[in-house]
Amino acid sequence: MSAEPHPAEQGPCVVELKEAGPEAAELLSILHHAAFEGREPWDAAAFGQILGMPGVVVWLACVSQSEEAVPVGFIVSRHVVDEGEILSVGVHPQWQRRGIARVLLAHLVGRASQIGETLFLEVRFSNRAASSLYEQTGFWQVAVRPRYYEDGEDARLLKWSPR
């Protein structure tokens, strides 16, 4: 009898995106903690505050398991006039490397393109996988934020523009 393969070993999956609101704060906290392996996790209270801010939009990436849509990833962004900032994007480790973050990012970039919005985000210098994904999506580095993270690591400030 063989064990069920790890989801990441099963290749690409079908992803359904669902917009979420403040009711998803606890779920987002759990996903964030898992995705970032406990490094600077946002708790439910922090998500509650963020989700209550004007212009904040959250999309959950859900996959079908046993006829149920299970949230496995998220993207949180804030939009003001013609600019947006990606505050966080993450995928549960069991579902990483299956194109889920790419789907979330493509969705947000597609919406920004439709309305002529410029997007920004920060990413750790050490997070090469995320940096590569962002660059493949059309983001480029515009600045460095020294000692941006609690542990002192610098952040790359990236920009995407429809122009």
pLDDT tens across 112-150, in order? 999 999 999 999 999 999 999 999 999 999 999 999 998
Domain ranges of the chain: 13-160
- In single-letter form, the type of residue at position 88 comes to S
Question: Which class is 13-160 in CATH?
Answer: alpha beta
Q: Which active-site residues does the annotation give?
A: 122, 134
**Structural element, H or E, at residue 130:** helix 128-136
The span from the CA of 159 to the CA of 121, in Å, is 7
- Residues 71 and 60 sit within 8 Å (Cβ to Cβ): yes
- DSSP E strands, 92-160: 118-124, 140-145, 155-160
The span from the CA of 100 to the CA of 52, in Å, is 25
The span from the CA of 77 to the CA of 84, in Å, is 7
Task: Report pLDDT for 113.
Answer: 95
Task: Report pLDDT for 11.
Answer: 56
Task: Report pLDDT for 8.
Answer: 46
- In single-letter form, the type of residue at position 146 comes to P
pLDDT tens across 77-113, in order? 999 999 999 999 999 999 999 999 999 999 999 999 9
